Amino acid sequence: MRNAGTIRLLTRLACFAPFAGGLILVNWIAAQPPVRRCLTSTLDAAAESLVAGNTITAHIDMLDLKPIWIEHVQIRPDVIVLGSSRVAQVPHDWFRPRAMLNLAVLAGDFEDAVAIFQKCLDAGMAPKLVLLELNPTLALEGKARDAPALAPFYRRAMLRYRAFSPILLSGPLTLDAIRWNPQIFLRRHPWRVSDTLEPEAYRMRPDGSADWWNLDDPGSADDIERGVRSQMQHLDGQYLHWRTTSHPDWFNRRLLSGFLDDLDARGIRVVVVLVPVHPTAYDFYARQGGYDDSWIRSEMAGRGVTVIGAYSPWAAHVTREDFFDDVHVHPPVLHRLLAEGGIVE
């Protein structure tokens, strides 16, 4: 009886083998250069336009565009910026004569930064300085899988850092090579050369810096505060938990250690950037345990890593007039923080 049961189980498992094999084959075919060029032609065209010196307005997910853009960039940067939308506005002009690429991405987190840095290494673009913007939890809670152009590099980095998670084992079965955002193919004009900011789009410049808010008319400080207070009243549970949590899980803590060890071994200086939070939002989140930067400061102090800025608006010497929403400051604030840290003049 036991043998019969074992045979039935093995037979059922064998039925899935052709399906799994088919997925692996499809993924492999899609990853081949001729097929991949067809899948990413829109992204390649946008990247080539940026490299040619154009500013573009795009509706494409930046997590899809920037990894492809890296493949087209010709310069070897002295400085790269890694992080989320909170540092996406940092421009090359602040760093002259050094070459800078802003590789921060909207809705990005530390895991994306790890993958982007690995992609830079593979492209021979190791910088001298990395500006790393961090959130207390490191990773976005409830985040979907990594962008298809980044997933292989993320897995490669995990292997190098000996930081293992379930995504490492999924490999080809994730169909990284074909799970591109349908908007890339279905939207009539996913991007165009333009310096005009369009609704529900972002504007990206040749250095990778970007903005998505009309800073020429952001509204008054009272308007911004009313918006922040309204947002605080309509947060879903997952978002609220993420904003009110100040410690990463064990995996991302291990990933951070591997990342910092890697930069140190390569002689690459890293500076951690903490961007302040709107006073009203900070008060709301901090009272529930959010935006406590003590573990970050302790970790970096032990490594001799410079930390500039602070989540606390009072520690960072900013007021509500310096914000255009709950967690994003105007570019002059970022410039001042970097200047105070001796990164720019």
Higher pLDDT, 185 or 205: 205
Q: Could you give the angle at the alpha carbon of 173 between the alpha carbons of 171 and 178, nearest 5°?
A: 100
Mean confidence (pLDDT) of the chain: 86
Q: With beta carbons less than 8 A apart as the criterion, state whether 146 and 154 touch.
A: yes
pLDDT in tens, 134-175: 999 999 876 656 678 888 888 889 889 988 765 554 555 566
Q: With beta carbons less than 8 A apart as the criterion, state whether 197 and 57 touch.
A: yes
User: How high is the pLDDT of residue 343?
Assistant: 97
The domain segmentation of the chain, as residue ranges, is: 1-31, 39-340
d(CA 321, CA 318): 8
Grouping H, G, I as helix, E, B as strand and the rest as coil, residue 161 is helix
Grouping H, G, I as helix, E, B as strand and the rest as coil, residue 241 is helix
Peptide bond into 331 cis (omega under 30): no
pLDDT in tens, 74-126: 889 999 999 999 999 999 999 999 999 999 999 899 999 999 999 999 999 99
Work out the number of other CB atoms within 10 angstroms of the CB of residue 192: 15
Q: Is the pLDDT of residue 27 over 90?
A: no
Q: Is the pLDDT of residue 42 over 70?
A: yes
Query: How far apart, in Å, are the Cα atoms of 33 and each of 37, 39, 41?
Result: 6, 10, 11
Name which of 70, 172, 61, 203 is nearest 126 in CA terms. Answer: 70
Name which of 280, 285, 282, 287 is nearest 225 in CA terms. Answer: 280
Place of tokens 């293992």: 164
Residues with Cβ within 8 Å of residue 128, at least 6 apart in sequence: 78, 79, 268, 269
Q: With beta carbons less than 8 A apart as the criterion, state whether 248 and 138 touch.
A: yes
- Give pTM, 2 decimals: 0.88
d(CA 142, CA 212): 23
- The average pLDDT across 312-316 equals 97
Q: What are phi and psi of 249, to 5 degrees?
A: -75, 175
Q: Which range, of 35-44, 156-165, 240-249, 314-323, averages the lowest pLDDT?
A: 35-44
Q: Which fold has domain 39-340?
A: Rossmann fold (3.40.50)
Residues with Cβ within 8 Å of residue 179, at least 6 apart in sequence: 145, 148
Q: In angstroms, how far is the first alpha carbon of the chain from the final one?
A: 79
